[in-house]
Structures are given as C-alpha cells and as structure tokens.
Chains A and B, each alone.
Chain A
Amino acid sequence: MMESNDERLAIREVRLGATRAEGGTREVSYAIGGERDLPFSGKRPERLLVALEICDDPQFWPPVVRDYVGDLANDTAEWARAAERTYGADLVRLNFTSTKQRGFDAFGAIAATTEEVLAATARPLIVEGSNEPELDSEVFRRSGEAGEGERFLLGTAEADRYRSVAAAALAYGHAVIAQSPIDVNLAKQLNILLRETGVPQDRIVIDPYTGALGYGFEYTYSVMERIRLAALAGDADLAMPMISAPTDTLSIREVREAAPADREAMAVAWEFYTAYAAVVAGASIVCVRHPLTVAKLKAALEG
C-alpha cells in the first residue's frame, strides 16, 4: 500500500480504551500519537495523558504511596475509582504485584480483579502482567480476556519475553507496551519482533525505560529525543507514541531517607520533574504512583 509522504513522517496514532460505541464500556477513549514535529512545536498532540498506577498487592508498593492512600491500598477497585474521581487520572495502570508472591497460582483472581477495576472506573486501563516469565502467559490471557474489546494497553513486552503479551493483545484486541533498556536500536529491534509476531504498528507504544532522576535519567531523556527524531526523519519502526513510567523514583535514597515530614513532598517533586521532562522529550503518557503527582502534572500540562 502506498502512503503519502506526509503520512510516513507522522507518529502513528494508537487508540486506547473503547467506548460503548467502539465496543467497550469506557466513557472516554484516547488517540495518542499523530505528532509531526518536536514536542510542543507544530501540530500539538490531541492531549497528553497522566496515568495513576495502582496494584493488587500493596506489600510490594512504595511506603510513601501506601501512607498517602491508606485503606484504598487494600481495595483495588476503590483505589481505581479514586484514581479517576478523586485524583483525576486520565488512565488507571493496574499492576498485578500479587504475582510476586512465591508460588503464585491465583489466576482466577487476575480475571476477577480486572473485571472489578473495569467496573470501578470508566477510564481506559493500562494492565501490567506478571513479574515472572513463567506466569506471563496465564496472567496476560486471564486479564486480556476479562478486558476483551476494552482496548487495554498491555504491558510489558521485552526482547526476551514478548510472545505471551503479543498473543493476548492479538487475541483480545489490546495494544502493547514495548520496553527496551534505554537504547534506540534495542527499541527498534523489539518493534520489529512485535511486527513479525503480527502486532500491528498502530498497537505499539514504546517504553524506553525511565531511569530515576539523578540516577541516569539523562540517558532516558536523550534516548527519547533520539527515538522521536528518528521517527520524524522517517524511521517507521520507531514512529510510535512513547510512554514513560518513572517507577524507580520512589525507591531512591532522596525519597526513602527524607525526614518523615518531607518525604511526601520529595516523592512528588521527584516523580513530577522526571515525568514532566519525559513529556518534553516526547512522551504521550506518563505514569506515576503518588496521587498528588497526578494533579500537579495535569495542571502543568494544561497550563
């Protein structure tokens, strides 16, 4: 198929979430991508999205977030509801941290939790699979199936574990996060692998991996800029929207060892500076864990 030159130089649009009219149950759906120029220049993307991360087993979650959300941490559905209604997140990112437990086999709970979260929030979901390659296939199948037609963004495909997430995305109509370790060429390779597996290019979102601010974030920032420049110069295998999740920022020394009275402010500042810089480098979606960071990012991105 011939494409116009203009089409070739744009970042591909990826649709996330599905409204009733689109075959899902979400109140909104988003199209990310479509940029033809550097961030904030030229044609502006439709919108920049902020996701709040939640999980199904808070023992593996940063204490500074657990302290803030309190009992919500023990009720995944209520946490998801608050993410939308109280904290104003555009998307909810559900992490199955329960799969970190030794000998995990509660696969039924994966589907049940996915359904509960779908019922609790009307926002599109990002769903993270397991932490164990052996569990991936079953976790992706259960959660992917429970969300069939909802156009989740499923995470996370990596170079050595992408088949099960790709299979679930293809079977149930979801998009995929393709994560590579802060390297333009590895990002490209993974996108090619996914393409060869049959994942359409308009269902891939690049995650270049976000090093924590002060702990290598500059590498992430420059790799994001390079991915975007390569895409704008015509490299179709890198012409996907990007997602950034500064997950590591809440476990660094500056946050952990802050005086109790300052810890929350430090966590929010660290997440905010990292996520905002990722947006300036080209990210379409930023994912954070502290609810206060969501509101701060939303205000900054709309202002």
Chain B
Amino acid sequence: MAMKALDIYKHLPKTNCKKCGYPTCLAFAMKLAVGKADVEACPDLEAEARTLLGGVTRPPVRLVTIGTGERSVAVGEEFVLFRHEKTFYHPPGIVVQVSDAWPDDEVRSVVEMVEETVVHRVGQDLVLNGVAVKYESNLPERFAEVVTLAGGGNSLPLALIADDPGALEAALAVAGHYRPLIHAATEENHEALAALAKRYGCPLAVRAADPAELAALAGKCADAGVPDIVLDPAPSSLAGFVAIATDIRKAAIGRTEPALGYPLSIDAGAFGDADAAIAAGILKYAGIIVVPPLSPASVEAALTLRQNIYTDPQKPIQVTPGIYPINEPGRNAPVLLTVNFSLTYFTLLGYLEASRIPCYLFIADTEGLSVLTAVAGGKLTETLVADSIKEFGVGDLVDHRLLVIPGYAAPLSGKIEDATGWKVLVGPRDAADLPGYLETEWKT
C-alpha cells in the first residue's frame, strides 16, 4: 500500500539539506507520498530505506512516453480507480492503424488524416496521437518501407505491430531513434523483442490473456532491461476488457502486483464495434488505443469523450462571466440571467441556439456553482446581479429594462428588482422550457 507522508519522512535523513530540490525533508516526503518525486533525488539515503521507499513511492502506474518531440504522447502515471476520487492525468493516446499490405496511397491518406485532424473544443485542440503500422506483408523490408511512409516516427509517434523480431529489427533500423512502441512481446518472442527494445531504448508492449501471465511477462522484460512497458491483456470480449482492466488498475494502485503497474493498450479493431472498444478503452484505463481508420463522426465523439473523462473533476469548469449574444440579438432582445457553471451554460446555449431566438445570455460570477447551489449558498445575490449589470454595461445593450431570471432564483426576484431597478420576469427552471417560455411570454 501507499505510505503516508509522515511515515515516509521517518525514513529520510531529516537534514533539510535541499539537495533533492525541495526546501525540507518533509516537503520531499509529501511529494513522494503522492508519487510526484523520485526517491533517487535524495543522495543521503541508506540503501535499505532507498529500496523500501522506492517500492512504495513510485507512481502506481508508470509513465510511459511514445514518440519524441512535440507530438509525443505520455501515458500512465495514474493514481485512482475512479475519476471522482481525484482526477485522471494522462489521456490515452489514440493511434490509427495502417497495414504494410496496403497500397502506398492508402497508407499515405490515413497518415495525412492523423496529422491534420484537430477538433477545437472549449479552448483545447484535440488530436489523434499517432500511427500504428501492422506487419501483414511477411516482407520485413516492406514493413520498414511503410514505417518510413508513416513518417518513420519523426512527425507522429508510431506503434510497430508485429510478432516477428526480424520485421521489427528492419523497422527499428528506420524508426528506432523516435521511441516507437514495439507491439507486442509474447511468451514465445519476448527475449528477442526485449533485446530490441533495450537496444533502441523503446517502450515495449507485452501481451497475455491472463493477468498473472501478463505480470510474469512484464517482469521478465523489466529484468531484461526494458523499463517502459505497456500491457495488452488481449481480451476476448469488451466486457472482459473492462473487467480485466479494472482488476489490473486495482492491483497497480493497491501495489499488490508491481509488475502490473504499467499503462494498458487495447486494439479497438479486434472487436465487432470499434466505437464501443474505443469508449471502453477511454473509460477504463487504456493508455494506448489502436484504432482502425475512423469516420469523422467517430473521431469527434471519441476525442470529446476522452476530453470529458480526463477533465479534472476537482475544478468545476467555469465560463467567463459576461454578456454572451446568441442568434444576433437586437436592442429589444431578452436578457437572460444565469450562472457561470459550464454545464448550465452549455445546456442553455444548446437550447437557445436551436430555438433561433435572438437573446443575450447574462452570466454572473457564481464561482462555477449551478443556479440551485448558488441561490442556496448565497453566491447568487441581488448585489451580484446589480454590480454585474453595471460592470458588463447591460443597460447600454438593450432599450428595455426587463431581466429574465432562472426559475430556481425566483425567491430573489423582489430583491433583484429593488437592487437593480429592472423589472424581473421569472423564467422556467429547466433550460429545455426556455425557448417555449420566451415565445409565449417575451414581449417588449
């Protein structure tokens, strides 16, 4: 099990020498306790304490980087089973698979698609992460040729999918310096593949259908000098993947089996419905998801799900307070008061845009709280509304003095009228009812 900071502190020299980069031994202990520091940074540890602390303070899931440079993808270094317990840190890399048995044009068009796909959402650019080249030609030189065609690892991270050491050796001669993922070592070929991974300093995937065999295989490869390992549990069904992935993450976090403390990979193309496998991989602990070429709709939905699940739940996402014009409002358009909880904003935005009713969304700063919580917790008050009307210059935008407030803020209606001088109309509680409400009730 993980050790608490104070228990770790007992084993440190307590000299506060700062050689580890932290101001005190206690500060270092606190970083170690959350897996954010390396015990090797302390030069004065006894060998025994070093071994003990090394075992309990490294991240329960090792950070593994595929590729080099700007587009490299780092996965693992996760600490929890459920995102609400803290957060998930490293979104899985989604790599699109091509085959060396395909014509060059087909390979090239997939590689271009991966390079160019960008989905802009909520201030983030979401991308596909790399290309997986599968060895199906039985010609090692053709495998190397297609790896070159896929950029050789220079532009996009690569996964080299082959069981044959000869084919992998040919591909690594081309791409070995760009940290491609070698996929995958099995009981039969692990000695040769571990030797290649060690020689080129590349991450290595290991594949076995049983978690105990997977741990044994990972242990052998680690002993052979390969520190960066990815586990492929080779599930026979998606339900099986979710169950095995959950068990492996539990074992890693509970530190009951250190040899399972690595990121997972899933081959979404191995199942009937790739979309389901991608979703399962995103939700349940995959670090690398190998996918067949996807439709634009699948790409957008998959990248959005990944963004959602890897959003930090400790920070309520907030929208910047202010005035948001919707559907090109004029001077008689309604002004709709709401809060800066992003879920509220997005829900309202969806319904209002769909309704095509021109209006101003007036977002007050409730520190990211929903209407219900903000009213109950005293964050949405008549003073805030009055101050915000002045701050955002709401009065200069429209010729009327009518303010529609959320249904759940009804108890504040009188106070808001008194504090602002605006006439208050109490709108519906549910965003879905707002367009209907505006159509029937809004008259200036």
Contacts and interface: CB of A to CB of B under 8 A. Distances in A.
B357 interface: no
Contact of B301 (A40, A213, A222): A213
A276 interface: yes
B350 A212 contact: yes
Interface string B352-389: 01100000000000000010100000000000000000
A213 B273 contact: no
B296 A277 contact: no
B438 to A, nearest CB: 14
A170 interface: no
A256 to B, nearest CB: 6
A120 interface: no
Contacts of A254: 300, 304
Contacts of B284: 280
Contacts of B346: 211-212, 214-216
A201 B95 CA distance: 46
A41 to B, nearest CB: 5
Interface stretch (A71-79, A136-144, A265-273): A265-273
Given A226-B84, A251-B350, A253-B350, A213 B436 contact: no
Interface string A53-67: 000000000000000
B301 A269 contact: yes
Interface residues on A, range: 35 or more
A38 interface: yes
A215 B347 contact: yes
Interface string A98-109: 001010000000
Contact of A256 (B304, B309, B354): B354
A218 B272 contact: no
A101 to B, nearest CB: 10
A225 B275 contact: no
A169 to B, nearest CB: 22
B308 A214 contact: yes
B308 A225 contact: no
A256 B353 contact: yes
Nearest to B276: A300
Interface stretch (B147-155, B160-168, B239-247): B239-247
A227 to B, nearest CB: 11
B242 A276 contact: no
B54 interface: no
Nearest to B238: A303
Nearest to B282: A277
A20 interface: no
A272 B295 CA distance: 14
B242 A41 contact: yes
Q: For the complex, would chain A's binding face be called helix, strand, loop or mixed by DSSP majority?
A: helix
Contact of A40 (B243, B275, B307): B243
A273 B295 contact: no
A277 B309 CA distance: 10
Contact of B307 (A214, A276, A303): A214
Nearest to B239: A40
Interface string A231-274: 00000000000000000100111101010001001101110110
Contacts of B272: 299-300, 303
A85 interface: no
A38 to B, nearest CB: 6
Contacts of B372: 181
Contacts of A215: 343, 346-347, 350
Contact of B304 (A181, A214, A248, A262): A214
Nearest to A214: B304
A222 B102 CA distance: 42
A95 B224 CA distance: 62
B271 A303 contact: yes
Given A215-B343, A219-B343, A273-B302, A262 B297 contact: yes
Given A216-B347, A252-B350, A273-B301, A300 B275 contact: yes
A253 B353 contact: yes
B31 interface: no
B298 interface: yes
A162 interface: no
Nearest to A266: B297
Given A41-B242, A277-B283, A268 B297 contact: yes
B305 interface: yes
A12 to B, nearest CB: 22
B134 to A, nearest CB: 22
A186 to B, nearest CB: 9
B43 interface: no
Contact of B351 (A222, A251, A276): A251
Interface in A176-223: 181-182, 211-219, 221-222
Interface in B249-296: 271-273, 275-276, 279-280, 283-284, 295-296
Nearest to A258: B297
A277 B279 contact: yes
Contact of B275 (A38, A181, A248, A276): A276
Contacts of A212: 346-347, 350
A248 B350 contact: yes
B279 A102 contact: no
A208 to B, nearest CB: 13
B342 interface: yes
6 contacts: A215-B343, A248-B347, A253-B349, A265-B296, A280-B284, A299-B272
Which 8 pairs, one residue from A and one from B, show the smallest C-beta to C-beta distance? A216-B343, A300-B276, A215-B346, A269-B297, A265-B297, A40-B242, A269-B301, A218-B308
Interface of B: 82-84, 121, 237-240, 242-243, 246-247, 271-273, 275-276, 279-280, 283-284, 295-298, 300-302, 304-305, 307-309, 311, 313, 342-343, 346-347, 349-351, 353-354, 370, 372, 433, 436, 440
